[in-house]
Amino acid sequence: MTPLRKDAARNWDRILTVARELVDEGTPLQLNDVARRAGLGVGTVYRHFPTTEALLETVATPCLEALADHGRKALEDPDPWHAFSEFLTRLVEAQVSDPSLAKVAATATDTLPRTTELKQQIMTAGTEVLTRARAAGAVREDLADGDLVPLMCGVAYATYVHSDGPADRLPTARRYLDTLLRGLSA
Amino acid sequence: MTPLRKDAARNWDRILTVARELVDEGTPLQLNDVARRAGLGVGTVYRHFPTTEALLETVATPCLEALADHGRKALEDPDPWHAFSEFLTRLVEAQVSDPSLAKVAATATDTLPRTTELKQQIMTAGTEVLTRARAAGAVREDLADGDLVPLMCGVAYATYVHSDGPADRLPTARRYLDTLLRGLSA
DNA sequence: CACGAAACGGATAGCGGATCCGGATGTGTG
DNA sequence: CACACATCCGGATCCGCTATCCGTTTCGTG
């Protein structure tokens, strides 16, 4: 593809910056709102991001990349249980500190191919980490590969429910995950 | 209050029946839709239930009552751990088999006073059950009263995420809860 | 500088939530 | 039995958000 025109690139950045701000302050993304705050027309926003989900996934992409990176590194950890628990911890902490990621993780069907690709990479790493931990006799036998993501989404969700504010979400999430990990260990 | 007029009572029933059907088939409640299916005007629906949440809570009320009932009965169980695990199991199974309950449970601020009342009863029972189990040395010390509901919402949520259909949700939920319970035990 | 492609932006359709009020329908009273 | 009033019905209507469409503007290349 031809590279983006200068003004288009500028507006793309503006939109993403505003979207990131909105997500961080907990406001649900509304494309009209994004357009207004970015000083752009609604049409411009919708050309760059056809749906709310597309924008949300783009906002979450850097976090997904970071998780995929960590997943690959976890495979070099000599301690299978440490690699496993660390991997899950990252998965939960990322979701708790970033609502956009939580939504994207919980959604089965993606809008952007890039999102699917990254999710797959994370899944692959997770499966490998789990397999090693299981082989080392560190985790229960009846834990399936496909259980990891849902369980982590559940922990993140439990942290959000009835939460008073973003302040003490992280410690709560760690507590919940610790408890679950104890149940997962063999 | 004066009792409902005959036609009003009839319509109230119709609305609730339709709403229950919609919830059961997994469709999100839309009051316009409810009105059409019940053969009533939109205004009628909105007079009986000012918001979607009000209707949802009314639909969920019988389930909440059942849970509160069971909570009271659990206090008579001589085995503290059995009472505890049974209580949590009911909490999860109810949410998994009824989306309306899952939403109501996860919402911090209620619309109807009756909902708040029932939630409080359940919370009270849960606290008591947890206290006894803790006193018997059956559960971890660092589990707070307020953690029970969020954790059960989390388990139910994990079951919904990436779920292929309502068919095998219940076994999955039991598996997840078993794992968590293992982590909760002392 | 001039021209075509690409991007802009706002008017507008479509949809769901929620409201309002003129008309219909039960219910208690003379 | 009939009347009157409170209550309820129902849909036309408003509002906010998503998404589209198309005339106008801007970029960058020859």
Q: What is the DSSP string of A42-91?
A: HHHHHHH-SSHHHHHHHHHHHHHHHHHHHHHHHTT-S-HHHHHHHHHHHH
In the stretch 98-157 of chain A, residues with CB closer than 8 A to chain B read: 106, 108, 140, 142-143, 146-147, 149-151, 153-155, 157
B39 contacts B14 by C-beta, under 8 angstroms: yes
User: Which nucleotide has its C1' atom closest to residue B6's CA?
Assistant: C26
Comparing CA positions, the residue from A141, A114, A143, A109 lying closest to residue A126 is A143
Alpha-carbon distance of A151 to A20, in angstroms, equals 26
Query: Distance of CA A72 to CAs A64, A77, A122, B147, Å?
Result: 13, 10, 8, 33
Structure confidence at residue B29 (pLDDT): 94
CA atoms of A67 and A119, how far apart (whole Å): 9
Question: Do the beta carbons of residue A98 and residue A60 sit within 8 Å?
Answer: yes
pLDDT (tens digit per residue) in B34-80: 999 999 999 999 999 999 999 999 999 999 999 999 999 999 999 99
What are the φ and ψ backbone dihedral angles of A139, each rounded to 5 degrees? -125, 160
Q: Model confidence over A130-186: pLDDT tens digits?
A: 999 999 999 999 999 999 999 999 999 999 998 888 888 999 999 999 999 999 998
Question: What is the widest separation between alpha-carbon atoms in chain A?
Answer: 58
pLDDT at A1: 62
Q: Which of A101, A110, A139, A151 to mutate to test the interface with B (most CBs of B within 10 A)?
A: A151
* Partner residue facing B183 (CB), from A106, A154, A179: A179
Tokens of residue B82, six digits: 């059995």
Quick check: pTM over 0.85? yes
Helices (H) and strands (E) in chain A, counts: 9, 0
Give the residue from B173, B4, B161, B6 showing the smallest Cα distance to B91: B173
* Residue with CA nearest to C26's C1' atom: B5
B contacts of A147 (beta carbons < 8 Å)? 175-176
